[in-house]
A = this chain, B = another copy of it.
Amino acid sequence: MIIDKLIDKIKETGNPTVVGLDPRVDYIPTFIIDEKYEKYGHSLKAVAEAMYEFNKYIIDEIYDLIPAVKPQIAMYERYGIEGMKAYLDTIEYAKEKGLIIIGDIKRSDIASTAEAYSDGHIGRTIVKENSFDVFKQDFITLNPYLGSDSIIPFLEDCKKYEKGLFILAKTSNPNSGEIQDLLVDGKPLYEKIGSLIDKWGSELVGNNGYSEVGAVVGATHKEQAKCLREIMPKSFFLVPGYGAQGGKAEDLAVCFDKNGLGAIINSSRGIIANHIKENMNGKDFAKASRQAVIDMKEDLRRCI
């Protein structure tokens, strides 16, 4: 099961970190982007190709230190068809390097439409005798607002193809409480969603006691994460918000179980844009990302 593979990779690397591959044009060193501008003009294709090239440099420097990467599809969708191609190319390259892919797509729709998303992202798209693994992700993120029938098609593909989900429970953004903290029967909505996520994943529990269906739980809300960890014992947590968004390692301990498992912490900007902070813009720029991964690992180990 993919959740067991993720846990094995976390143990192997000793590092519960996922690196968010969310490139922005101003992160990309000039030696990469200028070459693409020269070749393709100031076009969507130029930036998309530069993003892919940029990601490859980063992946080459960090793939041995981490279990997984999390490309954020919005950053690629912004550049249209060419951007989507860079998204897929990035996934394929990272997979070749042995990394697990968490596609941060946050999709949601009614069942018949959810089926289409599931086919394209974690299932298979069938064309006559051919079966295509289209966007090739191992895990994807989903939004739960539409309820169970919007999630079920994905659960079926998780079973069939050994894939996994991380469903939004409590997000890391400043206004997340506006809806997610509303009280339902005296308890915040995110707890209700947390219980639903735990239920959705109940038939997909792997050897390590965790389900293929995990939850997104923001690192910016310590007390809430603690409470969710208690009511969702079988749900692995994908935790955004560390570093640039303000989440601190000492607040993250609550996301882990007594064996130091149960969560994977995301960092994007703090890793992939570290060369800017370090003033390293030459061909070895990604060594700054490697250092940032090592520093983050130590930071987490201090606390977990």
Contacts and interface: CB of A to CB of B under 8 A. Distances in A.
A276 interface: no
A90 to B, nearest CB: 13
A173 B145 CA distance: 11
A178 to B, nearest CB: 4
Contacts of A192: 179, 182
A263 interface: no
Contact of A145 (B81, B109, B128, B179): B179
Interface stretch (A56-64, A117-125, A248-256): A117-125
Given A74-B116, A145-B144, A179-B145, A173 B150 contact: yes
Given A37-B128, A178-B147, A44 B134 contact: yes
A42 interface: yes
Contacts of A119: 78
B81 A85 contact: yes
A43 B130 contact: yes
List the number of copies, as a whole number: 2
Contacts of A37: 128
A43 B125 CA distance: 10
Contacts of A156: none
Given A42-B130, A117-B78, A129-B42, A168 B180 contact: no
A97 to B, nearest CB: 22
Given A80-B134, A127-B43, A182-B189, A74 B113 contact: yes
Nearest to A135: B80
A242 B100 CA distance: 41
A196 interface: yes
Nearest to A177: B147
A77 B146 contact: no
A246 interface: no
A304 B287 CA distance: 65
A222 interface: no
Which 3 A-B pairs have CB atoms at the shortest separation, nearest pair first? Answer: A147-B175, A147-B178, A42-B128
